[in-house]
Chains A and B, each alone.
Chain A
Amino acid sequence: NAGVTQTPKFRVLKTGQSMTLLCAQDMNHEYMYWYRQDPGMGLRLIHYSVGEGTTAKGEVPDGYNVSRLKKQNFLLGLESAAPSQTSVYFCASNPSGNLYEQYFGPGTRLTVT
């Protein structure tokens, strides 16, 4: 059981470039989440999904898109990266929301220059 994995672990982008972060979980969880973590700001929710084929906006969705074509994968896309998107990105999953703990991936450190 690998749990929640994230690819890549590190990435440096130039302003305007695009990239996709991949989150995969092997626990058959319904719910998946993307967060960003910035100094002094805590974890902030970008987008989330309550099941295959569904996505919804979180607190800070601007500049990001997501897709959940398969239950085990949740992709986070940056179409045109900006320096303000320099952050550590965490993916998480849980069986079905509210009363279940979230399981976090190891994080992706993204720098946009």
Chain B
Amino acid sequence: ILNVEQSPQSLHVQEGDSTNFTCSFPSSNFYALHWYRWETAKSPEALFVMTLNGDEKKKGRISATLNTKEGYSYLYIKGSQPEDSATYLCALNSGYSTLTFGKGTMLLVSP
């Protein structure tokens, strides 16, 4: 079983703050890294799929970077809004057909 760690477990910020979370994974097992956004009472939705070391992806105010050599990825949210409140999941693909998910970072953005 692969160990995918996310930190922090939860985060509470004010509207307008920028924030970031970390996803750590065993670099020797890397094939692809996924980020998902999971709002309460909904189902997870994909944000990014990343495969290349040094890759940076962006969607609106959300961006992610990837370091496959040291085994981590950062997710950044610029100018957080209350609608960004959700759990953010990362998941590692190690070359097989499945993903191993981290436990997520729960973000709460207060107005």
**Chain A residues packing against B (C-beta within 8 Å):** 31, 33, 40-45, 48, 50, 56, 58-59, 90, 97-107
Contact A104 B44, CB 8 Å, known A33-B98, A98-B31, A99-B49: yes
Distance of B100 from chain A, by nearest CB (Å): 8
Distance of A77 from chain B, by nearest CB (Å): 20
Q: Please, what's the 1-or-0 string for B92-104, where 1 marks a CB less than 8 Å from any CB in chain A?
A: 0101111111111
B residues contacting the other copy or chain, number (CB 8 A): 25
| Beta-carbon contact of A107 and B97 below 8 Å | no
Interface of B is mostly: loop
In the assembled complex, B51 has its CB within 8 A of some CB on chain A: yes
Interface of A is mostly: loop
Q: Please, what's the 1-or-0 string for B1-19, where 1 marks a CB less than 8 Å from any CB in chain A?
A: 1000000000000000000
Contact of B89 among A43, A97, A98 (CB under 8 A): A43
Q: Please, what's the 1-or-0 string for B74-111, where 1 marks a CB less than 8 Å from any CB in chain A?
A: 00000000000000010101011111111110000000
Question: A42 contacts which chain B residues (CB < 8 A)?
Answer: 89, 101-104
Distance of A34 from chain B, by nearest CB (Å): 11
Give the residues from 20 to 39 in chain B that come closer than 8 angstroms, CB to CB, to chain A. 31-32, 34, 36
Contact A102 B97, CB 8 Å, known A42-B104, A107-B43: no
Question: A90 contacts which chain B residues (CB < 8 A)?
Answer: 43-44
